Amino acid sequence: MLENQSNFHFKDRFKNQKILVTGGAGFLGKRVIAQLIDAGANPDLITVPRSHELDLRSLANCEKVVQDQDLIVHLAAHVGGIGLNREKPAELFYDNLMMGVQLIHAAYQAMVKKFVCVGTICAYPNHTPVPFKENDLWNGYPEYTNAPYGIAKKALLVQLQSYRQQYGFNGIYLLPVNLYGPEDNFDPRSSHVIPALIRKVYEAQQKGDRQILVWGDGSPTREFIYSDDAARAIVMASANYNDSEPVNIGTGLEISIKDLIHLICELMGYEGEILWETDKPNGQPRRCLDVERAKTAFGFSAAVNFQEGLHRTIAWYRQQAA
């Protein structure tokens, strides 16, 4: 059930609404749909376009899919970890920009009532003071490996704000930190840090390896939000937030990569040695959000304890990998 909603009522908010959820078959999308239904949405009125059937980089497809929709939640993204960012920066820029820009424009033309755009923490400047405040978003260039993806996504905020100013189009923009949880992407070619580290430790245990290699030097810090919490924030904002200013979605808790891998090893019972590949990139030096705006604007605060969330994620992966 949805939490933290005592002052933010969902009754009838989604009743009879036609809702389009791009990326709705993905890791986060499945949870957003489940919580939309929990909040009163009719599952028969929720549309989930699949990328292999409807390429949203095509304007014609965007125009087709937005027709007669009341609410659009745009989660679809071409995204991955540092490895993918280094390997395919052009694809990440083009795919994310074209999907978002054309979908927003088509939604405006189709007179969709509300557009919820889920952006990325990668949009923040490389040396943003911690905790990241939404007002810091434009105070510098993103970390270079994240920049093509982050800038493509950040452009959508400008588009939504300008469409609101000129056309009165109701679009909102959310900035979630790194997600994790069961059903995450554990493919080592494109995964983010938590699933990548869980898989490394699991495979070392299976092989009896006494050492594992981890990119960087362990000094960068990150903040993570459990997928169910992120989904709940998106649904709460969809129901109750209608402003032009972007909103951070996170926990406000910061952990170094070094402490993260040691915590994962502890939870998984691995006692081997960690070897740092210092010739590999660290990524952004620090990431931790100021989460006050989400709390005051629509009553969201994260509920899942980080260790508990990791425990659930590890348990799910072990079951799948066995």
Annotated binding-site residue? 74 = no
Name the residue among 267, 274, 279, 280 with its Cα closest to residue 209. Answer: 274
Confidence grade of residue 9 (pLDDT, cut at 50, 70, 90): low
Does residue 61 belong to any structural domain of this protein?
Answer: yes
Query: Which domain, by its residues, includes 174?
Result: 19-181+224-253+287-303
**Confidence (pTM):** 0.93
* Three-class DSSP category at 198: helix
Ligand-binding site membership of 199 (annotated):
no
* pLDDT at position 246: 98
CB 232, CB 36: distance < 8 Å: no
Q: Is residue 201 part of a domain?
A: no
Helices (H), 77-225: 82-87, 89-109, 147-167, 193-207
179 is in an annotated binding site: yes
149 counts as catalytic? yes
d(CA 154, CA 122): 9
In a domain, 118, yes or no: yes
Length of the chain: 322
Number of separate domains in the chain = 1
For the chain, what is the mean pLDDT? 93
Tell me the average pLDDT across 124-142: 95
Which of the four pLDDT bands, split at 50, 70 and 90, describes residue 52?
confident
Look at residue 130 and give its three-state secondary structure: coil
**CB count in 10 Å sphere of residue 260:** 21
- The answer to whether 251 and 177 are in contact (CB under 8 A) is yes
Residue 7, pLDDT > 50, answer: no
> What tens digit of pLDDT does each residue of 273-319 get?
999 999 988 888 899 999 999 999 999 999 999 999 999 999 999 99
pLDDT confidence tier of residue 10, bands split at 50, 70 and 90: low
Spatial distance between the Cα atoms of 100 and 75, rounded to a whole number of angstroms: 10
216 Rama class: left (phi>0) / alpha (psi -120 to 50) / beta:
left
Residues 6+ apart with CB under 8 A from 87: none
In a domain, 258, yes or no: no
Least confidently predicted of 63-67, 124-128, 312-316:
124-128
Across the range 211-223, mean pLDDT stands at 95
CATH code at position 131 = 3.40.50.720
Query: Would you say 72 and 118 are in contact if contact means Cβ atoms under 8 Å apart?
Result: no
Please report whether residue 317 resides in a domain. no
Catalytic residue chosen out of the listed positions 149, 163, 173, 317: 149
Is residue 27 annotated as involved in ligand binding? Answer: yes
Instruction: For residue 153, say whether it is annotated as part of any ligand binding site.
Output: yes
pLDDT digits (tens, 9 = 90+) for 83-115: 788 899 999 999 999 999 999 999 999 999 999
pLDDT tens column, 227-261: 999 999 999 999 999 999 999 999 999 999 999 99
pLDDT at 147 over 70: yes
Look at residue 4 in the predicted model and tell me its pLDDT. 44
Structure confidence at residue 80 (pLDDT): 74
Tell me the average pLDDT across 210-226.
Answer: 95
The predicted pLDDT at position 2 comes to 43
* Cβ atoms 263, 310 nearer than 8 A: yes
How confident is the model at residue 6, as a pLDDT? 40
Residue at 154 is within a domain: yes
Question: How far apart (Å, rounded) are the C-alpha atoms in residues 151 and 307?
Answer: 32
